[in-house]
Every structure is written in structure tokens, then in C-alpha cells.
Chain A
Amino acid sequence: MAGSIRASATTDGGLWSDARRRLRGNRAAVAAAALIALLLAASLLGPLASPWSLDEVDWSLSPLATPPSLANAHWFGTDANGRDLFVRVWAGTRVSLLVALLATAVSVVIGVAWGATAGYLGGRVDGWMMRFVDVLYALPYMFFVIILTVVFGRSLWLIFLAIGAVGWLTMARIVRGQALALRRREFVAAAEALGLPASRIIFRHIVPNVLGTVVVYATLTIPQVILFESFLSFLGLGVQEPLTSLGRLVAEGALEMEMAPWQLLAPATVLALLLLALNFLGDGLRDALDPRQH
């Protein structure tokens, strides 16, 4: 640590190593990152560690819904159908994370392309492109996603496409703002003087320079997407059987909470921890990559 501080004092490190040092100094963000790693590992390895599988009904139980116990290896208990909750919670976490990563990737690609193009071209094109974003902004994302699931059905792929398709708006706005500023810089003028086409300037010169902001905003998008997917699944509009997700498990647990509170508490705790950790990490990254704001 001492070495890297000295290095940065001579303005050696550059943006990314400076950011890494600031991030390491942020205890909340480091703890959040560790927690995320732990949850990720649990979601990948947890189902393997249990003797039960996702759809297996433990007929030896009576009643089928039993509280957590070490003796029968149902560490989080079982759901109303006698299926092991430990396995289901971690499998659900995996689905939630998968949807989050894919949908975020979709929204990053659309948002960056849209924003950088609007910001670089400017003028009337910019006006119309951002007007379009404003119109979509008028309605909460959730309503758009619900329309899309009503129109196109409810497969897993469509859900992440639908979420990604509406999640890019804020990214587009942020990138556009940065691109507007970059457009007036000398290196862009130099590229224009060399006669490079606009598409090449946008993707080779504008986009790499907004990556810091994009990374920050993408980490803040991931918890939002998890929230979206869980919200939809909670309402019965998201992930369908036999797959499960954290939102679905919370919904199922909420139905049984009177008799079997563990069915609600297990997935709700994992979901809350995951969202909190991702938010803390996102905040930490923002502080690390964009120190001007503080």
C-alpha cells in the first residue's frame, strides 16, 4: 500500500491504479466486494454441496415443509412441496445474477452506442435521439417491461432482453453528456483532420474515454436489474417453473410465512444482502473513479 501511495504522489499511477488504491481504502466497499464474492461462490458451489437437487421432493418428511435442520441436510428447510430450500435459494441466486449480468450487458451496449453517437454528432440528430429517450423516461421502466412480457411471453431470454431494452436510458444520458464535452477536445479534432469516419471516431476515440463512467454506472445497474427481475418474478410475470429466482422464492415464501417463516427469511436475506453489497460497491467505485464529486 505504502508503495502505491508514493507512486501516486508523483502522479504516476493513472486513472485506473489511482482508482484501485482509493477503492482499497474504502472499507465499506471492500467488505461489500468480499460479500459479493462469497455470495457468488455460494451460488455456484452451494447446490453441489447439498445432497439434494433442485426439483427433488423429500417424501420422508411429514409435513413436507420443515424448518432448517442439520440432521436431514435441509440447511434452509424445505418449501411447501418438500423441496430443499438451500439448493433452491442458491440456484435462484444464480439465475438472478445471470439475468442481471446479461441484461446489464445489453443495456450498456445500447446505452453507450446511443449516447456516444448522440453526443458526438450533436445538433439536430442529438436533439431527436435524446427526445426519444425523454419520451421513454416519461413512464417508469417497470411498466415497459411488463408490456413487453405481456406482448412477447415470459421466457428467461425475453426477460433479460426486455429489461436490457429499457434499462439503457440513464446510461445513454450519462454517456451523451460526456461525449458532448469530449467532442471539443484536441485529439478528436486531430482524428477529424485525419479524415476518419464518424463511426470510427465514436468507437475508437469517444467510447474508450467514457469507460470509467460506464463501469461505475454498470455496477449500479446490476442491482437495479436484479431488483427488476425479482419484482417481475414476485408478481408472477418473471422467471417461470421449473427455473426459480430470488424474487419467485420470496413470493412463494410470503404465501407460507404464517406457518413456515424460514421460506420467506432465507431468500429475502440473501436478496437483501446481495442488493446492499452491490449498492455499496457501486457507490465505492463511483467515489474511486470520480473523486471530483466529493
Chain B
Amino acid sequence: MLGYALRRLLAVVPTFLLIVTAAFFLMRAAPGGPFDEEQTLPPEIAANLEAAYGLDRPVHEQFLRYLGGLARGDLGPSYRMKDFRVAELIGRGLPVTLTIGVAALGLALLAGIPLGLVAGQRRNGWVDHAVMSVALAGIAVPSFVVAPLLALVFGLYLGWLPVGGWESGSLRHLVLPVLTLALPLIAYVARLTRGSVLEVLQSPFIRTARAKGLDPGVVLRRHALRPTLLPVVSFLGPAAAGVLTGSLVVEQVFGLPGVGRYFVQGAVNRDYTLVMGMVIFYAALILLLNLLVDLVYGWLDPRIRHD
């Protein structure tokens, strides 16, 4: 198991370095300097600014300095939000994004797995068709349509929940953002679980368990559940990526002070360092999560780690 873990970790490091390198040089390739947007600066001021941000040095030196900063967890200053460092902004937004993200993933598993199991067991019944149709809709209708619609119905017409805001994470303010993020994930998890349980239920060891005269509920829980959940576990990596993408929209619509909002603001203002730093941060987060998923997977299914 340790060897497997090390091998996975070694595969992640070069990927991360490649992403950092690509992000850095893409930003350098951008036409125009970071400061020449609204008005042209006098050359002395521009030179001072470049010196202050280390932009007057040769590119390879800038790159090495950036890598050095990265090793210390420093992603450099934001070009547009003066006096802020990128890492600071991430630190501020992270608790918000993590709270809604983890809650949405948890909700997706808690709702999606039972729905998929029920649909799979009553294959082609009306429950199955209903769950799968709703699931397809959940996947097809995008979060930025769902979010304002939920706010419209539950926030404005029914008046049950606040339309937006954070209020230091009170439960009422969490419901709609988490629901928006979770809906497509619930749909995916339900579809995956359904397909997987259908396959598992046809395998010989299930037939044996049934032949022993076991109760169908026991067969499902004790024998079929673990292999059924394997694809769901490997979906957690892409799901986490989906949550991070979705949080860009959800934080915008519901006015939450998370990482995604800073990222979008940075992109709108063309704040190069902020966007670059955040992409690197997102990449690290996703790679880490995928590594974690790989380890869990290897632990659940011994065949994987001895491959």
C-alpha cells in the first residue's frame, strides 16, 4: 500500500510543475504589460512599478523567484487589488468555498446513492424512469440557470430563505448555494450508482448469496454495496472539480465571499498574478483530491494497488 501511495504521489508532482510552468509563461505571453490599461503611465513610474514587482529582471529569474515563493506558500502580490497578496485572498475565501463545497459533496452522496440503488433495483419501473429523467434534467440544466431560479422561487416568491449573503455561514444562508451545487452531482451519483448496481447484481457471487436464501436487503447491504460504490468513489475527483467550477457561479449569484468570486473578479479585471495564483491553487487542490481518491480506491479494491 505504501509503495502504491508513493507511486501515485510521484505521478502528481511533475503534473503540478507542468501546470505551474504553463500558467507562468502563458501570463508572460499576454500582450501588453499588467499596468498599461486605462491611462499610459509616465515611463519613470512604469519603470518603478516594474522594479517593485520584479518585472525588470530576466524572465528565467522571475520564474525561479516565483517557484521559490510558491515553495513558501507565497503566490505573489495581486496586481489590481493593491496591498493584497494572492495567498491572503485565497486564505480569506477558502473557508466559505470549502464549507459549501464539502456540504454539497456530502449531500450528493447522501441523496444520490440511495436514489440510484432504488432505481437500479426497480429497473424499468416508474420509479426508475422518474429518477433517471429528473437526473438527466439535473445534469443538463446548468447551475447558473438553477441558482437564480431557486433564489427567485424560494427567496422572493415563497420568502422561505434569504436570496444571498453569507452572515458568517448561518444555516439559512447555506441552503440555496449548497442545493445549487449539489443538484447536478446528485444526478450524476444516482446515474452511476444505478448503472453500477445493475452490473453487480448480475455477478455470480450475488447469485450465490441469493441461492443461499439470503434476504434481498441483506444481499444488497452486505454483498453488493461495496463493489457498487467503487465507481462512485472514482467519481469524487471529477465531482470535486465540478464543485470548484460551480462555485464560481454560485458565489457570484448568492454573493458569497469565497475563492471563486476573487477568481472571477481577477479574470474580469485581467489581474494576471491573481488569476495565475488561483489557477495554481485550484490545480494543487484538485490534484491532492484526486490523489486522495486514488488512495481510497486502492484501499477499497486491492487489485488496483498491485497493478
Contact with B along A256-278 (1 / 0, CB 8 A): 01100100100010011001100
A289 to chain B, nearest CB (A): 19
Known: A223-B140, A234-B249, A275-B141. A151 touches B148 (CB 8 A): no
Q: Is the CB–CB distance between B282 and A139 below 8 Å?
A: yes
A55 to chain B, nearest CB (A): 23
Is B229 positioned at the interface, with any CB of A under 8 Å from its CB?
A: no
Q: Is the CB–CB distance between B139 and A149 below 8 Å?
A: no
Contact with B along A118-143 (1 / 0, CB 8 A): 00000000000000001100111011
Q: Is the CB–CB distance between A152 and B148 below 8 Å?
A: no
Residues of A within 8 A of B282 (CB): 139-140, 143
Which of A2-10, A76-84, A196-204, A247-255 binds B?
Answer: A247-255
Is B158 positioned at the interface, with any CB of A under 8 Å from its CB?
A: no
Contact for B279 among A143, A247, A276, CB less than 8 A: A143
Is B117 positioned at the interface, with any CB of A under 8 Å from its CB?
A: no
Which of B57-65, B169-177, B266-274, B292-300 binds A?
Answer: B266-274
Contact for A235 among B30, B151, B252, B275, CB less than 8 A: B252
Q: Is the CB–CB distance between B144 and A231 below 8 Å?
A: yes
Residues of A within 8 A of B137 (CB): 276
Q: Is the CB–CB distance between A150 and B270 below 8 Å?
A: yes
Q: How far is the CA of A143 from the CA of B247 in the complex (A)?
A: 12
Q: Is the CB–CB distance between A142 and B149 below 8 Å?
A: no
Q: How far is the CA of A117 from the CA of B31 in the complex (A)?
A: 33
Q: Is the CB–CB distance between B241 and A140 below 8 Å?
A: yes
Known: A138-B15, A150-B267, A257-B156. A276 touches B141 (CB 8 A): yes
Is A280 positioned at the interface, with any CB of B under 8 Å from its CB?
A: yes
Q: How far is the CA of A257 from the CA of B15 in the complex (A)?
A: 43
* Closest A residue, CB atoms, query B137: A276
A77 to chain B, nearest CB (A): 15
Is B107 positioned at the interface, with any CB of A under 8 Å from its CB?
A: no
Residues of A within 8 A of B19 (CB): 135, 138-139
Residues of B within 8 A of A149 (CB): 267
Known: A151-B26, A254-B148. A235 touches B140 (CB 8 A): no
* Closest A residue, CB atoms, query B163: A258
Q: Is the CB–CB distance between A142 and B245 below 8 Å?
A: yes
B218 to chain A, nearest CB (A): 30
Q: Is the CB–CB distance between A150 and B136 below 8 Å?
A: no
Q: Is the CB–CB distance between B27 and A151 below 8 Å?
A: yes
Q: Is the CB–CB distance between A135 and B15 below 8 Å?
A: yes
Which of the listed residues A134, A147, A150 has the most CB atoms from chain B within 10 Å of its own CB?
Answer: A150
Residues of A within 8 A of B244 (CB): 140
Contact with A along B8-33 (1 / 0, CB 8 A): 00000001001100010011011100
Contact with A along B222-246 (1 / 0, CB 8 A): 0000000000000000000110110
Which of the listed residues A147, A258, A268 has the most CB atoms from chain B within 10 Å of its own CB?
Answer: A147
A231 to chain B, nearest CB (A): 6
Q: Is the CB–CB distance between B249 and A235 below 8 Å?
A: yes
Is A93 positioned at the interface, with any CB of B under 8 Å from its CB?
A: no
Residues of B within 8 A of A112 (CB): none
Q: Is the CB–CB distance between B149 and A264 below 8 Å?
A: yes
Q: Is the CB–CB distance between A152 and B286 below 8 Å?
A: no
Q: Is the CB–CB distance between A147 and B144 below 8 Å?
A: no
Is B70 positioned at the interface, with any CB of A under 8 Å from its CB?
A: no
Contact for A138 among B31, B139, B142, B287, CB less than 8 A: B287
Q: Is the CB–CB distance between B140 and A253 below 8 Å?
A: no
Is B108 positioned at the interface, with any CB of A under 8 Å from its CB?
A: no
Residues of A within 8 A of B29 (CB): 151
* Closest A residue, CB atoms, query B244: A140
* Closest B residue, CB atoms, query A235: B264
Q: How far is the CA of A134 from the CA of B244 in the complex (A)?
A: 19
Residues of B within 8 A of A268 (CB): 145, 148-149
Q: How far is the CA of A236 from the CA of B84 in the complex (A)?
A: 23
Is B209 positioned at the interface, with any CB of A under 8 Å from its CB?
A: no
Residues of A within 8 A of B144 (CB): 230-231, 234, 247, 250-251, 254
Q: Is the CB–CB distance between A261 and B152 below 8 Å?
A: yes
Contact for B151 among A140, A247, A250, A257, CB less than 8 A: A257
Is B283 positioned at the interface, with any CB of A under 8 Å from its CB?
A: yes
Contact with B along A198-233 (1 / 0, CB 8 A): 000000000000000000000000010001001100
Besides A234-B249, A235-B264, A275-B141, 15 other A-B contacts (C-beta < 8 A): A135-B19, A139-B279, A140-B244, A146-B263, A147-B275, A147-B276, A151-B26, A230-B142, A235-B249, A235-B252, A235-B267, A236-B268, A250-B148, A257-B148, A264-B149
Binding site for B on A (CB under 8 A): 134-135, 138-140, 142-143, 146-153, 223, 227, 230-231, 234-237, 247, 250-251, 253-254, 257-258, 261, 264, 268, 271-272, 275-276, 279-280, 283
18 A-B residue pairs with Cβ-Cβ distance under 8 Å, sorted by A, are A134-B15, A135-B15, A135-B19, A139-B241, A139-B282, A139-B286, A143-B279, A143-B282, A146-B275, A147-B279, A150-B267, A151-B26, A151-B30, A237-B264, A237-B267, A250-B145, A254-B148, A254-B253
